[in-house]
Amino acid sequence: MSTSVQSQPTAEARVGVESQAPAKPRSKAKIILPIVLVVAAAAALGYHEHAKHFEDTDDAQVDGDITNVSPRVSGTIKAVYGVENRYVKAGELLAEIDPVDLEVVVLQARATVAQAEAQLKVEDPTVAITETSNVANVANASSDLSSSFASTSAAGKEVVQLEAQLVTAEANDKLAQDEKARAASLLAGGALSKQDYDQRVTTAAATKAQVDAIKASIAAAQDRVAEASARASAAKSRLTEVKTNAPMQLETRKASVVARQATLDLARAQLKQAELNVSYARIVAPVSGIIGKKGVAVGDRVQPGQQLFAVVQVDDLWVTANFRETQLANIVPGQHATVHVDALDLDLSATVESVGGATGSRLSVLPPENATGNYVKVVQRMPVRIRFAQGQNGLERLRPGMSAEPEVRVR
């Protein structure tokens, strides 16, 4: 009992303790408050100084090119080699289309080429043949015309000669007829013998016959002149026809050869396309990267343009940072930046590469139209591309879409 009584303080002692207790917190507050104010002021000053030299944003992400791989020909997939999340090199085989149908088209195209070559081979010599034939026809027509002109000239000269002979023959006949008449008178008076008279009668008959013969020859020669003139006219028409038609015939043949050549070129082009289509049955990676999405399986029927794989080009990545337009005053290409990648908890060195050509809202699918409705000014954001420095550890782990926080040193 005495022990418990001694452990309890007296009433006066409790009053003294209670009166002294509030003095301790007040004394600590007087010491801590100035320290807090100093620290806050220093932090504010430090933040202000930091803000003067750096611009940062958390609206940023790692970016890269994503190539969609699609077939160039239609067909049935017979094998798939591409696996999601696996790295592939440019030119590596990703899938194969059954090429049987495409190979049949190649055979058809080769047959068409062979047929076109044969047709051209048959048609091509006809140009030279037609040209030679035309030259010969022109030469023959010219020769016929010259021969007709010569015949006409010869016949005309013969007519002239015969007409001259006719004049002489008519003169001789007139003299003979006169001698015959005088002989008849002398015979009747007994001054001329019967023999002399008969001789003159014979001479008169002969000259008369000669005149008639020459007239007949002249008529025949004139007929020959007319005939030769007709042949000359026909030869001239023939020559004109040959000279007119020959170039057209030659051009027709040449045009036919050109058409055959065009048919052959078309057939060869179709064969080339068919052979290319066979090669397109092998679907390869156009770029190096990681397969991010596979949308094909064996047995699928695919069409040109259908997306089969998505290849992410992880070897060339950058950061797209959407800075507020109020932060762009001092940001220019070439400035050094530090990029913190959240997924890797890693800081990487980088450089500002370029500033976007328009704000994100202007490049959106539905850009705002500030000229309508109630206008409220909104601070816009401008995409800035920041390129990573090469050779840093951790770059191989970056992937497009990762969140990043770039900090650009502007002063």
Token pair listed for 84: 């999601």
* Residue 361, number of CB atoms within 10 A of its CB: 12
Is residue 9 predicted with pLDDT exceeding 70? no
pLDDT bracket for residue 395 (50, 70, 90): very high
Give the span between the Cα atoms of 206 and 213, in whole angstroms.
Answer: 10
Residue type, 310: A
More confident residue, 349 or 180: 349
Give the span between the Cα atoms of 307 and 283, in whole angstroms.
Answer: 12
pLDDT tens profile 61-104? 999 999 999 999 999 999 999 999 999 999 999 999 999 999 99
Q: Strand order of the sheet with strand 93-97?
A: 282-284, 93-97, 75-80, 301-302
Say if residues 74 and 303 touch (Cβ distance below 8 Å).
yes
List C-alpha distances in Å: 121 to 80, 118, 256, 261, 285: 46, 5, 12, 10, 44
Say if residues 74 and 98 touch (Cβ distance below 8 Å).
no
Is residue 386 predicted with pLDDT exceeding 60? yes
CA angle 88, 91, 95 (to 5 degrees): 75
**Which residue do the tokens 């930046």 mark?**
337
Residue of 406, 401, 386, 398 lying closest to 315 (CA atoms): 398
Give the span between the Cα atoms of 395 and 316, in whole angstroms.
Answer: 9
Select the highest-mean-pLDDT range: 40-49, 109-118, 226-235, 364-373: 109-118
Is residue 252 predicted with pLDDT exceeding 90? no
Token pair listed for 212: 């008639």
What is the SS3 string spanning 363-381?
A: CCCCCCCCCCCCCCCCCCE
Token pair listed for 293: 């999405």
Helices and strands counted in the chain (H then E): 6, 13
Q: Kindly give, in sequence order, each residue whose CB lies less than 8 Å from that of residue 400, ignoring residues fewer than 6 positions away.
A: 61, 62, 63, 64, 66, 312, 314, 317
Say if residues 315 and 90 touch (Cβ distance below 8 Å).
no
* Prediction pTM value: 0.61
Q: Kindly give, in sequence order, each residue whose CB lies less than 8 Å from that of residue 133, ignoring residues fewer than 6 positions away.
A: none
Is residue 32 predicted with pLDDT exceeding 70? yes
More confident residue, 326 or 124: 326
Work out the end-to-end distance of the chain between its first and last CA atoms, rounded to an integer number of angstroms: 80
User: Domain 118-273's class?
Assistant: mainly alpha
Residue of 64, 69, 60, 66 lying closest to 399 (CA atoms): 64
Give the 3-state secondary structure of residue 208.
helix
Report pLDDT for 397. 93
